[in-house]
Structure 1
């Protein structure tokens, strides 16, 4: 039986990409990490992909006339690697109709809050400003909205009274790095 092929989409440091790569290496996540896609040619995740011998491609929206053209170029790359699933891991761009139609119910995202609370950018900062006592991690299918797709998994994180944003981010990332590979395994098999 052939293993599903995934592409990880990331825009930043790539800590979730790295957690996924390591879970595959340990045999905890059974798939092929075929490709890394980034929309930031200077993103640190590219160094991680190079270190791990993961094929990668960088696409800048500004190089294309429209978002549809941008996504068509990405889609061409995904098809050339025969990618089955798209895994968003800190990808800071909304997925548009071109990719949503080509990968219907085959795109998964991770978000650092208990959705529907605190969608969008800086969810950890939003949680702090709101003064909530519990936030967490959500993994969901991607639809046309911002962090509005069907929820697959969630795990809460308590915010202690002496916590700061940096500490909370570290707590959330520890949970993300365990929960995301586990959830991806459940979804793709």
Structure 2
């Protein structure tokens, strides 16, 4: 009977950005990641935005794309980090926080119909280049491919390949050396 062991990450992945450490879920199911990533791609396609060239895009489109990117990243974070990273607050005229929300859409819905309230983005503000680097890291982390190095030792080692390493000699031993050519 053969036994195969699979490693699961149990400790959060960490992204250190200046003085802030954001913790991401140790494991994300493939469909959860794909659904979340699909929402981000839908927004970028609707706006016709290329994250590698934001210079030719309308400022309102950049703002909406940045918000969608932040929401995408927050959905993969642990709740405490997500609350630090994204927070759209509904404020009264006196500046009192009436409610906090994880998306700008939720905040605007909560503000609808209320007199003299405003929606303010009170989440962690980061340069676009850092957001794009976080996006690339998260896609590698959860979307397959090689695991990026993390600041924590939370990443589980890769599962070993099946079978045992062979001890047979190489068939190419008789090859002619190319040294000195």
For normalisation by structure 1, the TM-score amounts to 0.21
Instruction: Tell me which protein shows more strand as a share of its residues.
Output: 1
For normalisation by structure 2, the TM-score amounts to 0.22
Structure possessing the higher relative contact order (Cα contacts under 8 Å, 6 or more residues apart): 2
The structure whose Rg is larger is: 2
